[in-house]
Amino acid sequence: MATLRSEDRDFESSVSIIAGQTLSIEAASAHNDRREKQLWQMVELKIKSGERELVFSSEVGIEAAAMKAVSPEELQDAVENATRVANAYLICREPTNELTNLAVMLEEIADGARTRLSFEPSEPSFELTINNVAGGLRVDFFVDAGNVETGIYRWDSLGVRFFTSAANLRAFVDDFRAEFAC
């Protein structure tokens, strides 16, 4: 689990991203008429503020049959149809590795090479922004569960906002790279 913690230790806020299973599909390419192999990483998202914690997760497989579960076929349909969203919290690994791209951007913020980061996966379910402000880093993390649970872009979300340090961000990047092998 990769957890980005706030500077405030008395009333700690945090964002956690946990790797889940991967799904492989054959989907229409954005670049030509052929189908391409795509690999998607399911994630669990946790946002915490003080003693309160919200968990957003995806379920797959037979044990999830009673729940809204994503299948490779449903994911393929969502990837190919801009009016649909997948019934899961997903980040693309192939053909574009959004996890590696995010890790690089996080490192750039931590090292001072970048002053702002804004990341939303191509299958939208959350948004992470980090801004370098007045000697600290302001983190905004919002989860749009409506996209995942209803299949309709809601643009309403729950989130957490806090300040963190470059040292906390570097620790998060190390954990993130280990969690997702990127």
Supply the DSSP string of 20-87, one letter for each residue: EEEEEEEEE-SSSSSEEEEEEEEEEEEEEETTEEEEE----SGGGTTS----HHHHHHHHH-TT---S
| List of domains in the chain | 2-180 (2.30.31)
DSSP secondary structure string for all residues of 77-144: HHHH-TT---SS-EEEEESS-HHHHHHHHHHHHHHTS-SEEEE--SS-SEEEEEEEETTEEEEEEEE-
- Most confidently predicted of 32-36, 66-70, 125-129: 125-129
Least confident of 16-25, 133-142, 147-156: 147-156
Read off the pLDDT of residues 98-145 as tens digits, 9 standing for 90 and up.
Answer: 999 999 999 999 999 999 999 999 887 899 999 999 879 999 999 986
* Tokens 């999830």 belong to residue: 64
State the pairing for strand pair 13-28/35-49: antiparallel
pLDDT of residue 61: 46
Is 25 exposed, middle or buried, given 0-12, 13-18 or 19+ CB atoms closer than 10 A?
A: buried
Q: What is the pTM of this model?
A: 0.83
Residue 35 near residue 49, CB atoms below 8 Å: no
Higher pLDDT, 75 or 24: 24
* pLDDT confidence bin for 63, thresholds 50/70/90: very low
